[in-house]
Each structure stands twice: as structure tokens, then as C-alpha cells.
Amino acid sequence: MIVADRKPLKEILEMLDGCNRVLIVGCKGCVSVCNVGGSKEVGILASILKIAGKKNGLDIEVDEKTLERQCDPEYVDQIKDVVADYDVILSMACGVGPQFLSERYPENRCLPAVNTTFLGGAVQHGIWEERCAGCGTCGIHHFGGLCPIARCSKSLLNGPCGGSADGKCEISKDVDCIWDMIVKKAMEQGRLDDLLKFKPAKNWSTARDGGPRKSVREELVQ
Amino acid sequence: MSELKSGSNLEKVLKAGHFAFTGECGPPKGANVEHLKEKIEPLKGMVDAVNVTDNQTAVVRMSSWAASTIMCQEGVEPNFQMVCRDRNRLAIQADILGVYAMGIRNMLCLSGDHQRFGNHPESKNVYDIDSMQLIALVKKMRDEGKFLNGEEIDVPPRLFIGAAANPFADPFEFRVYRLAKKIDAGADFIQTQCIYNMDRFKEFIKQAVHMGLHEKCYILAGVTPMKSVGMALYMAKQVPGMDVPESLIKRLRGAGKGKAGEEGIRFALEQIEEFKEMEGVAGVHLMAIEWEHKVPEIAERAGVLPRPVV
Amino acid sequence: MRLSYPSNVKIIQVPCSGRVDILHLLRAIEDGADGVYVAGCLEGECHYISGNLKAKKRVQYVKNVLEELDMEPGRVEMFNLSSGEGPKFTQFAKEMVERIKTLGPSPVNS
């Protein structure tokens, strides 16, 4: 899923400076799954904003709405009859949400309440880790099902580097060295030869480096 | 290995079968050419070539290519270092052509410490290619006369290709295979990370010799004299991939107050003597960190002077 | 036991402190409570195993929120006691009331 973290409250309050009527829009997609922008978190943020408002002697009105997703126009459309009532729309969805809202409702200010970070999954309840960098040419099968582009700090294809120690990356003891895992797995499975083959320079043009991307399913386009 | 690949002094010394002795010099944290020349001065005639680091530990310094060029002008042969962290393949190839045009003949291909360690941790990561691919790239430019994309190069750069090896990083069992891979990719010479655990290194070099790696590539053993007990403790605990045996720390402590530095040099000299006789080791790479002025003394006491003129 | 606790403490009973959600604590503050606390079982003795540990984390979350809003984190608290410890209940109530008296009325009520 796409993982995000809520922006610091000070930043959100600064963004809302001068606004009296706020609509917080949540999303039942990824941000619900990583507990940062679902209906529950929308409720929490709404209460926080009201507390902040009252504390500063302002009477701000905060309403809540959680859409199925904010990355499909049909769902974004569902708030079309109410947007005009608000000074600002605060989206708790990933970076896609506030942009889709902005495009659909150009007269309104649509703000992001979260910082979108990475593509990842839950390793434990409450903890998510990055797994995919969206490089556009998946090659994890060459590395025993592990991705060095996303999980090696240097995105090495012929790793490990000399900084790998005790299975940890040189940048932090909290980060596993994925190359340590790749090598150990290959050795255990008797597939060391795979790693001795030289991996040539990556074609980054399918990644974000090549420019903003588009995906088309011809069979579905009308 | 009949014809010279680059004609560099280091290559000639190694090819002639001499025990090579290289040094290291970090460029200044500014455009202070005078300071750089002062650092180069004690190395003249003491070593076959001098590594010039490239934004080492991700701290911004004068670029390696500029410092290497100045070093050439001072009559000392540089080992130009390039890290993959700061440049994409366009800049890499352009810089390779540039340094060759300026008279540089040795190049060390490294991944580079992650920028998190350095003084600009907010910078964007490059790592377009890794050190293995960089080695292969320099070889392709030199031996095929082609760019990475296959186009012809108008006067190809003929560089002596170096790489680094860390026999003490994890996973230990894989290190000699990675060395083999770098040699296959095109490394002509290897410099190891500084060694303190001689037993473990001997194990490593034995495996390398067993695989015949020393016949395809010149392996230089890294030596850094310990200046103090504090330095030994720091290296043991804070530097990743470093193996400092307890016995060495004890030995330095036992030397007495103010005498640890001399003991550290003695240990380094013992190591150099062992390396001279060790099968598979073609020379020593001396990294006298913050102690460059000691290099002449160490070279003298190690019995590696005068340096061969080939 | 017929012990008395300060009358400005309003009690809301829940089957387990784990039933208390972040939103309950925030709404209390939002609606003007000068302080709010959760009294749960001693750690390791929760009838529902870890309800009181969940409550502890939620209380910490709200403390962090208060700090981010430049409000006193001490306005929300977690206390642990066993159901047989009547005097302790009173003690915690008095302690919290004293604390809130020192902090003054909630900024929300200004």
C-alpha cells in the first residue's frame, strides 16, 4: 500500500490559518490500512482542530467525510454538492487525493494533511516498511524475491558494499542490509552463481527519472 | 598482461614485480591549493601513487579530479577516486574523459559512503550505477573505446582500474566472491580496507590465492597506523566494517602514556614485513589518516625506500 | 469503603480501560474538561489481557497531541490500580485534581 504519516500539527494549523470552515476528507484505501487517514483518523484530526480553534478563541467548524478512495473521479465527485460551503478541503489521503480534489474543485483550496512516503507493507501491527520503489522494471526474481533498488540505501545491483556489518546497513542499525539477506538466501539455496553474474547498469527511464508516468489499458479505454 | 594498459607509474611498478607502496591524501575543505601542496610534499618519492579521495564520508571537499590534477603538476602520481554517490553515468563518463585529458592515469572505482554520514545529509541520492558497473564501464571505455551506450569514443581514456575490497565486512563468506566479481568486471588492482586482524586477513587472501585472483589482479593490503588508544577504540566501535582485535588495543594501552603512537607504527611496520612475504599480496596501501607527515619515516623504517623507478 | 473523592471528578465507567479510545479523550478536552484521566488495572492484571496497555499508549498519544498544540500534557493521565484498592482510587483522584488546579483551567475554556 501507499504509506503516509500525518503532518505535524503546527504545519497543518499554519496551512489552515484564517480558515473558519474546514472539510476533512478521509480515504478508505491505503491510508485507512496504515491508520493515518481513515474515518477514525479524520475524527481525531477534527477534534484536534476544534481544540486548537477554541484554544485560540476561534470558532472553527470542522466537518468530516470519508470517501471510498480519492484516486477515482466517481468517488471524488461525491462531495460536489457540499464543497462550496467550505473555506478549505483538508485531504487525509495520499498525495494523489488532494491533487484529484484540486483538479475536480479548482475553486476550492485542497490541502494535504499527510506526508506520503513510500510503497510498503505491515511488518508488525503499527509498523510499516518500504518494499518497492516503483522503478518500472521489476527484477526481484534475480535477487531471491528481495528488492535491492528499494531496500538497499545505495540501490546497488552488485552488492553488498563495504559498509554492511552484522546484517545492518551502514546508515543505521535500524535498517537491515538487504544484500546481506540476498547473499545469505542465495548461499542457503545453493544459488550463489546467480549473484556472481554481473548485473549491468539499470535502465532508470521507466522510473520517475524518466518523467511522470502513465499506464494505459487499451482494452478498457473507450 | 603483456602491453601496458595505461602506462601509469603504479602499473609499471606492479608489472615489473616490485612490492608497491601507495599513499593517500584528502583534498582540502576549500580551494586552499597551498594546503594541498603542503600535504603532497612529504609524499614525494615516498610512494608509487597517492589516492585522492572523492568527497570522502560524504563531506564536501575540493573535487578529486582537481586535486589529482594539481598533484600531477607537483610531480606525484595520483590515484583518482570516483564515487557513484554523486554523479550519474553522463557526468561519470565526462569526468573520466576529463581526467585522462589532464594526465591522470589511475582510477579507483567506489560506491561511496551514503550521504547520511556527511555534511549535506539532505542531498539527493544519485547511485545511477554501482561500483561494479563503474569498473566495467571504465574497462569498456579503455579496451573497446566505447561509451556505455556503445558509441565510439574520440580518443579513449586508458586508465589503470582500481577497486576496493573489504575483507572484514559482512557477509564474510561472500567477500572473496565479490572480489572475484570485481576482477572479472575489469579491476586491475585492488586496495583493501585497513587491516588489523591479520589472522582473518590471511584466511581471506588464502581463498583469493586459491581462486587464482592474485594472478589476474594486483592486491594491495591496506595499513593505517593507530595513533592512539582513542583512535583504536573509535575504529573498533564507530566505523562499520572494521575489525580491530582486542589484542591490539591491549598492546597500545600497554605501551604507556604518550607512547601508543610509536607502538601503533611498530605494529604497522610488522604488518608491512608480513605482507612483503605473503603470497597474493602485491603491495601495501598506507592510509596515514591525519598523519601524512609521518609517511617518510614509516616508508624509511619499512625498508621500502627508495621507490623503484621503472 | 465510604471514602470520598473530590466532587469535580466525573466518572464514566467502562468494562475495560482498553475501551477508551483516543477520540474519547480528545472530545473530553474539546468539550471543556480541564483534565481527563484513565484508571485501569495494574499492568499484567488486565482481565482482557492487554486492554490497559492499549489505554496507556492512547493516553501517551493524546499527551503528544497536547504538547504539539502547546498545551500541558499533564492534563491527560493514566493510573493503574487493582479493583480492591479503594484508597488508591481516592488518592489518584485527589492527585489529579491538585495537578489540574495548579495548571489552571484548560486553555479551551478561555
Output the DSSP codes for B245-295.
Answer: -HHHHHHHHHT-TT-HHHHHHHHHHHHHHHHHHSTT--EEEE--TT-GGGH
Nearest residue in chain C measured CA to CA from A59: C108
Residue B205 scores a pLDDT above 70: yes
Q: In terms of domains, do A35 and A68 share one?
A: yes
Q: Identify the three-state secondary structure at position A154.
A: coil
> Quick one: average pLDDT of A115-127?
97
> Quick one: average pLDDT of C72-83?
96
ipTM value > 0.90 = yes
Residue B305 domain flag: no
Average pLDDT, chain A: 96
> Quick one: average pLDDT of A110-117?
98
Q: In terms of domains, do A109 and A155 share one?
A: no
User: Smallest CA–CA separation between C109 and chain A, in Å?
Assistant: 7
User: Smallest CA–CA separation between C56 and chain A, in Å?
Assistant: 15
Domain boundaries, chain C: 17-102
Burial of A58 (0-12, 13-18, 19+ CB in 10 A): middle
- pLDDT for the residue numbered B226: 93
User: Could you read off the pLDDT of A59-72 as tens digits, one per residue?
Assistant: 899 999 999 999 99
User: Smallest CA–CA separation between A113 and chain C, in Å?
Assistant: 15
**How many separate domains does chain B show?**
1
Residue B307 domain flag: no
User: Could you read off the pLDDT of B138-183 as tens digits, one per residue?
Assistant: 999 999 999 999 999 999 999 999 999 999 888 888 999 999 999 9
Burial of C99 (0-12, 13-18, 19+ CB in 10 A): middle
User: Smallest CA–CA separation between C11 and chain A, in Å?
Assistant: 21
User: Smallest CA–CA separation between A171 and chain B, in Å?
Assistant: 7
Q: Do C23 and A47 touch (CB under 8 A)?
A: yes
Name chain C contacts of A52, Cβ cutoff 8 Å. Answer: 69
Q: Does A10 touch chain C (CB under 8 A)?
A: yes
Q: Does A54 touch chain C (CB under 8 A)?
A: yes
CA–CA distance, B52 with B34 (Å, rounded to integer): 16
Residue A222 domain flag: no
Residue B308 domain flag: no
User: Smallest CA–CA separation between C67 and chain A, in Å?
Assistant: 10
CA B256 to the chain's CA centroid: 32
**How many separate domains does chain A show?**
2
User: Could you read off the pLDDT of A34-44 as tens digits, one per residue?
Assistant: 999 999 999 99
Among the partner-chain residues C22, C30, C107, the one whose CB lies closest to the CB of A50 is: C30
Name chain B contacts of A201, Cβ cutoff 8 Å. Answer: 89, 128-129, 133, 137, 148
Instruction: Let me know if chains B and A touch, i.e. at least 3 Cβ pairs under 8 angstroms.
Output: yes
Provide the pLDDT confidence category of residue C2 given band limits of 50, 70 and 90.
Answer: confident
Residue A110 domain flag: yes
Q: In terms of domains, do A182 and A89 share one?
A: no
Residue A212 domain flag: no
Name chain A contacts of C108, Cβ cutoff 8 Å. Answer: 51, 54-55
Q: Does A125 touch chain C (CB under 8 A)?
A: no
- Beta A61-67 vs A21-27: how paired, if at all? parallel
CA–CA distance, A101 with A213 (Å, rounded to integer): 20
Average pLDDT, chain B: 94
Largest separation between any pair of C-alpha atoms in chain C: 41
Range of the domain at A7: 2-117
Range of the domain at B40: 9-300
Q: Do A183 and B171 touch (CB under 8 A)?
A: yes
The phi and psi torsions of B275 (rounded to 5 degrees) equal: -65, -35
Q: In terms of domains, do A94 and A193 share one?
A: no
Q: Does A44 touch chain C (CB under 8 A)?
A: yes
Q: Do A47 and C108 touch (CB under 8 A)?
A: no
User: Could you read off the pLDDT of B261-302 as tens digits, one per residue?
Assistant: 999 999 999 999 999 999 999 999 999 877 888 999 999 999
Q: Do A162 and B169 touch (CB under 8 A)?
A: yes
Q: Does B306 touch chain A (CB under 8 A)?
A: no
Q: In terms of domains, do A112 and A7 share one?
A: yes
Q: In terms of domains, do A139 and A68 share one?
A: no
- Tell me the residue type at B195: I
Q: In terms of domains, do A111 and A142 share one?
A: no
Name chain A contacts of B166, Cβ cutoff 8 Å. Answer: 162
Residue A157 domain flag: yes
Name chain B contacts of A161, Cβ cutoff 8 Å. Answer: 111, 131, 169
Residue B187 scores a pLDDT above 70: yes
Instruction: Let me know if chains B and C touch, i.e. at least 3 Cβ pairs under 8 angstroms.
Output: no
> Quick one: average pLDDT of B107-120?
94
Residue A157 scores a pLDDT above 80: yes
Q: In terms of domains, do A65 and A109 share one?
A: yes
- pLDDT for the residue numbered B2: 64
Residue B47 scores a pLDDT above 80: yes
Residue A18 domain flag: yes
Residue B1 scores a pLDDT above 50: no
The CATH number linked to A16 is 3.40.50
DSSP class of residue B86 equals: S
Residues of C near A (Cβ–Cβ under 8 Å) read 22-23, 26-27, 29-30, 65, 68-69, 71, 107-108, 110
